Amino acid sequence: MSKVELYQGIENGKDKIGVKISDPSATLDDLLAAWQPLCDDEKLHKMFASDYHCACRGCQVNCCHTAYVVPDLIAFRHMCAHLNLKESEFALNCLDQQKRSLGFLRLSPNPCLFLKDSLCTVYPGRALLCRFYICSDIMGDTEQLIYSITWTGIAAAQAYAREKNLIPPHPGGGFTSLDLMLVKTIEEFSRHPGVEYFRHAREYAEIPLKPFLPERL
Protein backbone atom coordinates (compact mmCIF):
# COMPACT_ATOMS: atom_id res chain seq x y z
CA MET A 1 0.00 0.00 0.00
CA SER A 2 1.24 3.48 -0.88
CA LYS A 3 1.91 5.92 1.92
CA VAL A 4 -0.28 8.50 0.15
CA GLU A 5 -3.35 7.61 -1.87
CA LEU A 6 -5.64 9.69 -4.07
CA TYR A 7 -9.38 9.26 -4.09
CA GLN A 8 -12.41 10.90 -5.66
CA GLY A 9 -15.40 11.77 -3.53
CA ILE A 10 -18.30 14.17 -3.31
CA GLU A 11 -18.20 17.33 -1.23
CA ASN A 12 -20.87 20.03 -1.37
CA GLY A 13 -22.48 18.24 -4.28
CA LYS A 14 -19.33 18.19 -6.43
CA ASP A 15 -16.93 15.44 -7.44
CA LYS A 16 -13.56 16.32 -5.92
CA ILE A 17 -10.06 14.92 -5.52
CA GLY A 18 -8.67 14.12 -2.10
CA VAL A 19 -5.67 12.44 -0.53
CA LYS A 20 -5.43 9.90 2.27
CA ILE A 21 -2.24 9.54 4.28
CA SER A 22 -1.99 5.87 5.23
CA ASP A 23 1.47 5.96 6.80
CA PRO A 24 2.51 8.50 9.46
CA SER A 25 6.07 8.43 8.08
CA ALA A 26 4.94 9.81 4.71
CA THR A 27 6.93 12.72 3.30
CA LEU A 28 6.22 15.57 0.94
CA ASP A 29 7.94 13.56 -1.78
CA ASP A 30 5.35 10.78 -1.29
CA LEU A 31 2.54 13.30 -1.68
CA LEU A 32 4.08 14.80 -4.81
CA ALA A 33 4.56 11.34 -6.32
CA ALA A 34 0.88 10.55 -5.74
CA TRP A 35 -0.22 13.93 -7.08
CA GLN A 36 1.88 14.03 -10.27
CA PRO A 37 -0.25 11.56 -12.32
CA LEU A 38 -3.18 13.99 -12.12
CA CYS A 39 -1.32 16.26 -14.53
CA ASP A 40 -1.42 13.57 -17.24
CA ASP A 41 -4.89 12.23 -16.46
CA GLU A 42 -7.13 12.89 -19.45
CA LYS A 43 -10.19 11.38 -17.74
CA LEU A 44 -10.11 13.91 -14.90
CA HIS A 45 -12.39 16.92 -15.30
CA LYS A 46 -10.27 20.08 -15.66
CA MET A 47 -12.01 23.42 -15.84
CA PHE A 48 -9.61 25.06 -18.30
CA ALA A 49 -8.70 22.03 -20.41
CA SER A 50 -9.78 21.46 -23.99
CA ASP A 51 -13.23 19.85 -23.80
CA TYR A 52 -12.54 19.76 -20.03
CA HIS A 53 -10.36 16.67 -20.47
CA CYS A 54 -6.71 16.64 -21.48
CA ALA A 55 -3.25 16.33 -20.03
CA CYS A 56 -1.92 19.54 -18.50
CA ARG A 57 1.01 19.30 -20.91
CA GLY A 58 -1.32 19.95 -23.85
CA CYS A 59 -3.46 22.62 -22.22
CA GLN A 60 -4.05 25.68 -24.40
CA VAL A 61 -4.78 27.90 -21.38
CA ASN A 62 -1.22 27.88 -20.08
CA CYS A 63 -1.12 29.36 -16.57
CA CYS A 64 2.67 29.72 -16.88
CA HIS A 65 2.10 32.76 -19.08
CA THR A 66 0.61 34.85 -16.28
CA ALA A 67 1.11 33.06 -12.95
CA TYR A 68 2.49 34.82 -9.87
CA VAL A 69 5.09 32.18 -8.96
CA VAL A 70 7.00 32.55 -5.69
CA PRO A 71 9.22 29.49 -5.16
CA ASP A 72 9.50 27.50 -1.97
CA LEU A 73 13.01 27.18 -0.54
CA ILE A 74 13.77 23.74 -1.98
CA ALA A 75 12.63 24.78 -5.47
CA PHE A 76 14.65 28.01 -5.19
CA ARG A 77 17.81 26.02 -4.54
CA HIS A 78 17.01 23.55 -7.32
CA MET A 79 16.49 26.39 -9.81
CA CYS A 80 19.80 28.02 -8.92
CA ALA A 81 21.58 24.68 -9.32
CA HIS A 82 19.80 23.93 -12.63
CA LEU A 83 21.00 27.22 -14.10
CA ASN A 84 24.41 26.94 -12.44
CA LEU A 85 23.91 30.37 -10.91
CA LYS A 86 24.85 31.76 -7.54
CA GLU A 87 21.81 32.76 -5.50
CA SER A 88 22.69 36.43 -5.91
CA GLU A 89 22.94 35.97 -9.69
CA PHE A 90 19.61 34.18 -9.78
CA ALA A 91 18.00 37.00 -7.80
CA LEU A 92 19.36 39.57 -10.24
CA ASN A 93 18.64 37.73 -13.49
CA CYS A 94 15.61 35.55 -12.84
CA LEU A 95 13.33 37.48 -10.50
CA ASP A 96 10.78 40.18 -11.23
CA GLN A 97 12.91 43.11 -10.06
CA GLN A 98 9.96 45.34 -9.20
CA LYS A 99 8.54 42.66 -6.91
CA ARG A 100 12.00 41.90 -5.59
CA SER A 101 12.29 45.53 -4.45
CA LEU A 102 9.11 44.91 -2.45
CA GLY A 103 10.62 41.82 -0.85
CA PHE A 104 9.18 39.01 -3.00
CA LEU A 105 10.99 36.17 -4.77
CA ARG A 106 8.61 36.30 -7.72
CA LEU A 107 9.96 34.62 -10.83
CA SER A 108 10.18 36.84 -13.89
CA PRO A 109 6.68 36.57 -15.44
CA ASN A 110 4.60 37.03 -18.58
CA PRO A 111 5.55 34.37 -19.49
CA CYS A 112 7.52 32.57 -16.79
CA LEU A 113 11.21 32.72 -17.65
CA PHE A 114 11.37 28.92 -17.54
CA LEU A 115 8.69 28.51 -20.21
CA LYS A 116 9.87 27.57 -23.71
CA ASP A 117 7.54 26.44 -26.49
CA SER A 118 4.81 26.23 -23.83
CA LEU A 119 6.81 23.68 -21.82
CA CYS A 120 8.52 24.10 -18.45
CA THR A 121 12.30 23.77 -18.76
CA VAL A 122 12.73 23.10 -15.02
CA TYR A 123 9.78 20.73 -14.69
CA PRO A 124 11.47 18.28 -12.25
CA GLY A 125 12.54 21.20 -10.05
CA ARG A 126 9.54 23.49 -10.40
CA ALA A 127 7.99 25.25 -7.42
CA LEU A 128 5.34 23.69 -5.18
CA LEU A 129 2.87 26.31 -6.41
CA CYS A 130 3.25 24.81 -9.88
CA ARG A 131 3.44 21.18 -8.78
CA PHE A 132 0.17 21.30 -6.90
CA TYR A 133 -1.81 23.51 -9.25
CA ILE A 134 -4.53 21.68 -11.11
CA CYS A 135 -7.76 23.17 -12.42
CA SER A 136 -9.95 20.48 -10.85
CA ASP A 137 -12.03 20.59 -7.69
CA ILE A 138 -10.18 19.48 -4.55
CA MET A 139 -11.51 18.29 -1.21
CA GLY A 140 -11.38 21.01 1.43
CA ASP A 141 -9.01 19.23 3.82
CA THR A 142 -6.70 18.26 0.97
CA GLU A 143 -6.69 21.82 -0.34
CA GLN A 144 -5.80 23.07 3.14
CA LEU A 145 -2.96 20.55 3.40
CA ILE A 146 -1.49 21.65 0.08
CA TYR A 147 -1.96 25.31 0.94
CA SER A 148 -0.22 24.92 4.29
CA ILE A 149 2.77 23.03 2.88
CA THR A 150 3.24 25.37 -0.07
CA TRP A 151 3.06 28.60 1.90
CA THR A 152 5.30 27.25 4.63
CA GLY A 153 7.91 26.50 1.97
CA ILE A 154 7.47 29.98 0.52
CA ALA A 155 7.79 31.57 3.95
CA ALA A 156 11.03 29.64 4.48
CA ALA A 157 12.35 30.90 1.13
CA GLN A 158 11.46 34.50 1.96
CA ALA A 159 13.18 34.32 5.36
CA TYR A 160 16.26 32.74 3.77
CA ALA A 161 16.37 35.40 1.04
CA ARG A 162 16.24 38.20 3.61
CA GLU A 163 19.07 36.60 5.60
CA LYS A 164 21.20 36.36 2.45
CA ASN A 165 20.34 39.93 1.38
CA LEU A 166 18.70 38.68 -1.81
CA ILE A 167 15.65 40.82 -1.06
CA PRO A 168 15.46 43.99 1.06
CA PRO A 169 14.72 43.40 4.76
CA HIS A 170 12.48 46.48 4.97
CA PRO A 171 10.94 47.26 1.57
CA GLY A 172 9.25 50.57 0.90
CA GLY A 173 5.80 51.27 -0.50
CA GLY A 174 4.14 50.48 -3.81
CA PHE A 175 2.27 47.35 -2.76
CA THR A 176 -0.79 46.19 -4.68
CA SER A 177 -3.70 44.58 -2.87
CA LEU A 178 -2.36 41.18 -4.00
CA ASP A 179 1.09 42.04 -2.63
CA LEU A 180 -0.40 42.95 0.73
CA MET A 181 -2.30 39.68 0.82
CA LEU A 182 0.95 37.82 0.13
CA VAL A 183 2.72 39.72 2.90
CA LYS A 184 0.01 38.70 5.34
CA THR A 185 0.08 35.06 4.22
CA ILE A 186 3.87 34.82 4.39
CA GLU A 187 3.90 36.37 7.86
CA GLU A 188 1.26 33.90 9.00
CA PHE A 189 3.18 30.85 7.78
CA SER A 190 6.58 32.12 8.91
CA ARG A 191 5.52 30.91 12.38
CA HIS A 192 4.65 27.39 11.19
CA PRO A 193 6.97 24.72 12.70
CA GLY A 194 7.37 23.26 9.22
CA VAL A 195 9.56 26.24 8.24
CA GLU A 196 12.49 24.64 10.06
CA TYR A 197 12.12 21.46 8.02
CA PHE A 198 12.30 23.45 4.80
CA ARG A 199 15.30 25.43 6.03
CA HIS A 200 17.34 22.30 6.66
CA ALA A 201 16.11 20.12 3.77
CA ARG A 202 17.60 19.82 0.31
CA GLU A 203 14.93 17.50 -1.08
CA TYR A 204 11.19 17.08 -0.56
CA ALA A 205 11.80 13.58 0.80
CA GLU A 206 13.23 15.26 3.91
CA ILE A 207 9.96 17.09 4.68
CA PRO A 208 7.58 14.99 6.83
CA LEU A 209 3.87 15.45 6.25
CA LYS A 210 2.94 14.93 9.87
CA PRO A 211 3.42 18.58 11.02
CA PHE A 212 0.97 19.69 8.31
CA LEU A 213 -1.77 17.10 8.69
CA PRO A 214 -5.26 17.96 9.88
CA GLU A 215 -6.83 15.25 12.01
CA ARG A 216 -9.14 14.02 9.24
CA LEU A 217 -6.20 13.06 7.03
- Strand-pairing partners, residue 143, are none
pLDDT in tens, 88-142: 999 999 999 999 999 999 999 988 999 888 788 999 999 999 999 988 889 999 9
Domain housing 127: 4-212
Length of the chain: 217
Domain count, the chain: 1
Average pLDDT, the chain: 90
Q: Looking at the domain assignment, is residue 118 inside a domain?
A: yes
What pLDDT, in 10s, does the model give residues 154-178? Answer: 999 999 999 999 999 877 778 999 9
Q: Which residues of 109-133 are buried (b: 16+ CB within 10 A; e: fewer)?
A: beebbbbeeeebebeebbbbbbbbb
Domain-located, residue 217: no
Q: What's residue 65's pLDDT?
A: 77
Is residue 158 domain-resident? yes
pTM here is 0.93
**Residue 109 pLDDT:** 92
Per-residue confidence (pLDDT) for residue 215, from 0 to 100: 64
